[in-house]
Amino acid sequence: MKIQVVNTGSGSSRLACFEIEPSVDDPVEPLWKIEVDANAPGQPPGRLDLIFRSGGREEKAGAVAAASGPAERVSALMERAEHEGGCEGVVHRVVHGGESFIRAVRLSDEVEAEIERLAAFAPLHNPANLEGIRAARRRLGEDVPQVAVFDTAFHHRLPLYAATYPGPREWREQGIRRYGFHGSSFRSAAMRAAALLGRRDDSAVSLILCHLGGGCSLCATIGGASIDTTMGFTPLDGIAMGTRSGELDPGILIHLMRQGMEADDLEDLLNRKSGLLGLSGISSDTRILQPEAEQGDSAARLAIGVFRHRLRGGIGRMLASLGCLPDALVFTDAMGETMPSIRAAACESFAFLGLRLDPAANEIGMPDSDIAAADSSIRVLVLRCREEWQMARECAELLAGTPEAPEGEG
């Protein structure tokens, strides 16, 4: 079954195609991928290049105006995709599903209306996701089934005490709770880690998963089910990120509002001008900041130091939620897969628990490998991020009539 995966953001959009069989757990690589990224370096003035990748080759596949929105970008990606043949289904990443969506669903007018309502919870994400959905439907018509997979769905069975904020009880009635995000990444990483540990069907395997990219979050799982996570009501919560602040003292926001800052300005500040970028004034990318820090730039050094400190704190929190040593600590996504110094810094604070890295293996950081020392009390895995494959898998299962049961069911 050929499934196209659409990941629409405010600054970038990606389209990938997978040949996939329902209920097959072993990941496969995409047949091809196309992306357009407003943040990519070297873009020509006034336009954004579409980049096509397949079988190790890469080529420019057209361009869109730099000022284009998510709908125009998705339409351009799909126009290029038509050269590669048709598909049997399209699956879209939607960041916030609230309490309404706990698994993949076929898109309909009612589903789209609920995604739009939930945009109040994720104003930077759901509107862009919805634009991509509508652009795809206009391009492909009604004959190609379209499916939505929600970041929040993986965490829907969080224990009530882990999901609840210590505010007035009315908050729960208003849907103010911890939802968690990066669900497709965590779901695929949990399955892959269990397989690499030789415990694919073990309901007791415990993991701490670190999704470290432009957005960063951690998750503790037992038997593939999320029991705690660092992101909360929105993707702003948790550890420091590329441009997002992560958790803050709420009093800071009250102070800034009393100084005259409006809600829209706060949203922009916390989402786009904080984190590594805000601290360093240089970049949101640790691959750029690390050399600057090593060459003595104090702002870059501080940004890296704050990120490492918050990451270690997040791991400690996940340890406490598990209440035991995890079977593995897992690193995935761009930063988790490519930054050995970040992995080493995250692990060094837990040497007292017997966690030890193999320095040579960590430096290589081969995806889907164990980089822990032979005598480490905890295995440390580097996994390729496969959220797009996971989305395609869930879409194929839904269209085949065999959707995966949510954690704790079935």
Question: 151 an active-site residue?
Answer: yes
Surface-to-core class of residue 218, CB atoms within 10 Å of its CB (0-12 exposed, 13-18 middle, 19+ buried):
buried
Catalytic pick among 37, 143, 151, 237: 151
Contacts of 41 (CB under 8 A, 6+ apart): none
Q: Are 178 and 235 in contact, with CB atoms under 8 Å apart?
A: no
- Percent of the chain as helix, strand, coil, to the nearest 5: 40, 20, 40
In terms of Cα–Cα distance, which of 127, 134, 193, 183 is closest to 368? 193
- From CA 13, how far away is CA 168, in angstroms rounded? 39
- Return the closest-CA partner of residue 91 out of 407, 401, 410, 393: 393
DSSP 216-270: EEEEEEETTEEEEES--SSTTSSS--SS---S--HHHHHHHHHTT--HHHHHHHH
CA torsion sign, 43 to 45 to 46 to 47? negative
For residue 288, the 8-state DSSP code is H
Q: Catalytic amino acids?
A: 151
